[in-house]
Amino acid sequence: MKEGMILVFNVGSSSIRYSLFHKDKLLESKKYERLKSKEDYKKSVEKIFEKINLEKISLIIHRVVHGGELNHPVKISKEVKNKIKEFSEFASLHNPKELMVIELCEKYNKKQFAVFDTMFFSELSEKAKTYAIPLEISKKYKIKKYGFHGLSHEYVSKNLKGKTIVCHLGSGVSISAIIDGKAVDTSMGFTPLEGLMMGTRSGTIDPGIILFLQKKGYNVEEILTEKSGLKGISGYEDFRDIRPKMKTNKNCKLAYEMFAYQIVKTIGSYVSSMNGLNNLIFTGAIGENVPSLRKDICKNLGYLGLKLDSEKNKNNFELISSGNSKINVFVKKTNEEKMAMEKVWEILK
């Protein structure tokens, strides 16, 4: 492959972020937000291609949330698009938008590759990825823990030895357990709905609630994916709206406390399953930028010998643990686009 520029698309449920690379050097990056209709996405893609020199683009890479059984970067074909469409049923907020942008890019006649968020977790053990439902049903419908945010978890944990827990905290939330660079468990599962409460997603709840609400005639999918989580408790889905209101709005305070509590519980469970911890990483928009939340989480982990440096934490240093802490605590800026680019570059070399 000629060493031209690589354009990477990271398409969200209401946004498009693109990054332009030459080799491993980032040339430019921009995010278009609050996109609602297909026309919004179409206009954003057109704006991106108006800004860049198309002739210098060697290939286009797309981060795709749910890849099902696809566990490595693939050149996009009709068959791959069908797979992305098939798994849209389980990533309904993301895959359809990502497929739409892939098809919008086709008119520019460039090679396109897909890199999947599920790849990093494709080698989880049977005991970690299997659900306790009849195995014949699991096998028939490929029901298992796939895991998500894999590009982020892999990027921030690169080159760390020992037992690591990564907390990806943003509008979507996932926590992973990693030993010597290999994922051993993660909080998201068959869909990006499992795990901790998120901006609008409920996270893990008693399955009986789902059955109960269905009997009552509710649109359960809409409730759990779009109306729950932080939004369902406080009325606000953006963490930046919740924190300033905590002293005067008891529901905002409750949402914050629930969020921190669930993170601590999940970290604790992974410490037990790995029989120890060497590194704790905070990443994502919330993880990277909210020192008070990191402090509230870490104060419950003192039994591990974890100690924060309050000044470093307050100023978002990369290493925020104190010199005598038994656990390294990091704040790392994630870069899913760079990780996606590196993954494709590896197979094209």
Pick the catalytic residue from 24, 117, 185, 296.
117
- pLDDT at residue 230, rounded to an integer: 98
Structure-derived torsion over alpha carbons of residues 253, 258, 264, 270, reported in degrees to the nearest 10: -160
Query: Which of 121, 9, 130, 11 lies closest to 69 in space, CA to CA?
Result: 121
- pLDDT at residue 1, rounded to an integer: 45
- pLDDT at residue 99, rounded to an integer: 96
- pLDDT at residue 347, rounded to an integer: 86
Query: Which of 221, 175, 176 lies closest to 201 in space, CA to CA?
Result: 221
Three-state DSSP class for residue 63: strand
Domains (range + CATH), the chain: 5-116 (3.30.420.40), 150-331 (3.30.420.40)
Query: Distances from the Cα of 125 to the Cαs of 84, 185, 187, 220, 267, in angstroms?
Result: 24, 8, 14, 31, 19
The count of C-alpha atoms lying within 13 angstroms of the C-alpha of 325, restricted to the half-sphere facing its C-beta, is 22
Q: How far apart are CA 79 and CA 84, in angstroms?
A: 9
Q: How far apart are CA 316 and CA 83, in angstroms?
A: 40
The count of C-alpha atoms lying within 13 angstroms of the C-alpha of 22, restricted to the half-sphere facing its C-beta, is 6
40 among known catalytic residues: no
pLDDT means per 10 residues in the chain (349 residues)?
82 90 90 89 94 92 92 95 92 91 95 96 98 98 96 97 98 96 98 96 98 98 96 96 97 98 98 98 97 98 98 98 98 96 89
Q: From the DSSP assignment, how many helices (H) and strands (E) are in the chain? A: 15, 11
Three-state DSSP class for residue 324: coil
| pTM: predicted TM-score of the whole model, two decimal places | 0.93
Three-state DSSP class for residue 246: coil
